[in-house]
Amino acid sequence: MPNVNRGSRPLSPHLSIYAYQITWVLSILHRATGCALLVGVVLVVWWLFAAATGPDAFAVADNFLSSWLGGFVLLGSLFALSYHFLNGVRHLFWDAGYGFEIRNVTLSGWAVVIGSFVMTGGLWLLALL
């Protein structure tokens, strides 16, 4: 196509006027949680590296992760992890060619949403044991 009149053509609908649908919301959440998990894993490496450095450095990292703010970040990371984990499994099923029917996409989507809360709670309880 020649580059004629590209700028003044009508644009396809943008996010701001799209109706919320579980398909695209969960899709963008998969990316968002994946990116957000960067924070969680960097905290994990900080904690491990501090432990290898010595008791004083470790106390700083461990106190932060045990604090109110650290716990909040860890809980958020745990939810992001649970969601990304379960929705990742959903993606693997799609990659294998299963579950493309609209009804199944909606059902697996809600299963992932509910499962994320269950998995977050379960892992949090396991960590408290």
Partner 1 sequence: MGSEKVRMTTPANIVVGLGSAKEGVGHWWMQRVSSIALMPLTLLFVVPFGQTIGDGYEAVRALYAQPLHALIAILFILTNFWHLAQGLQVVIEDYVEHKGARTLMLLGNTMFCGLCAVAGVFAVAKLAFVGV
Q: Tell me if 29 contacts partner 1 by CB under 8 A.
A: no
Q: Which stretch binds partner 1 (CB under 8 A): 16-24, 37-45, 101-109, 110-118?
A: 37-45
Q: How far is the CB of 11 from partner 1 (least distance, A)?
A: 16
Contact flag: residue 121 with partner 1 (CB under 8 A): no
Which of 36, 65, 37 has its CA nearest to residue 51? Answer: 65
Tell whether the torsion through CA atoms of 12, 15, 18 and 21 is positive or negative: positive
Torsional class of 11: left (φ above 0), alpha (ψ -120 to 50), beta (otherwise): beta
Summarize the chain as % helix, strand, coil (round to 5): 80, 0, 20
Provide, rounded to whole angstroms, the least separation between the CB of residue 58 and partner 1.
Answer: 5
Which residues would be at the binding site for partner 1 (CB under 8 A)? 1-5, 31, 34-35, 37-38, 41-42, 44-45, 47-49, 51-52, 55, 58-59, 62, 65-66, 74, 78, 81, 85, 88-89, 91-92, 95, 123-124, 126-129
